[in-house]
Amino acid sequence: MTELPVASNAPPPNVVLFEQLWYLSLGIGVIQSILQWHVAVALAHAAGRGIGFILFIQVFVFAMSVWFVWLIARRRKNWARWIWLSICGLGMLGVPPVLSRLLHSNPLVAVLPCVQALAQIVALHLIFTGDARAWFKSN
């Protein structure tokens, strides 16, 4: 399939879907944080940290995610999609241990990180394929 030239600065469908999937993934992350708050607090206390530390990390990660999605989908920054792919690729390494722990403690909650990881993988795929490639190159 050939790629059509990009006629405007409007994001192509692949990029729009990337953005939507990523925000869905962030929503799932917020739900996970609420459902697993007690676990996060226990882990923080075991490490000698408080609730403020947990909140700082969660807000920082959320804000960084929103910023990168904005840079990619709205500001059309090619470098940002490569850095985001690298960051997310490293982050995906942490999914299996979390999933394993959740399967043993709360199998119903284990569905959330699976759906979240799937949404993120598909979203990342979208910004490197199809009409997205030409859109980033023409910037």
The model's pLDDT over 38-53, given as tens digits with 9 standing for 90+, comes to 989 999 999 999 999 9
The Cα–Cα gap between 94 and 102 comes to: 13
pLDDT at position 1: 52
Domain count of the chain? Answer: 1
Is 70 a domain residue? yes
Is 52 a domain residue? yes
Q: What are phi and psi of 4, to 5 degrees?
A: -80, 150
Written as one string, the DSSP assignment of 3-23 is PPPP-SSSPPHHHHHHHHHHH
Per-residue pLDDT band for 138 (boundaries 50, 70, 90) equals confident
| Residue 20, domain extent | 13-133
Q: What is the pTM of this model?
A: 0.86
Is 3 a domain residue? no
Is 7 a domain residue? no
The Cα–Cα gap between 77 and 80 comes to: 5
Write out pLDDT tens, residues 67-111. Answer: 999 999 999 999 999 999 999 999 889 888 877 877 777 777 788
Is 4 a domain residue? no
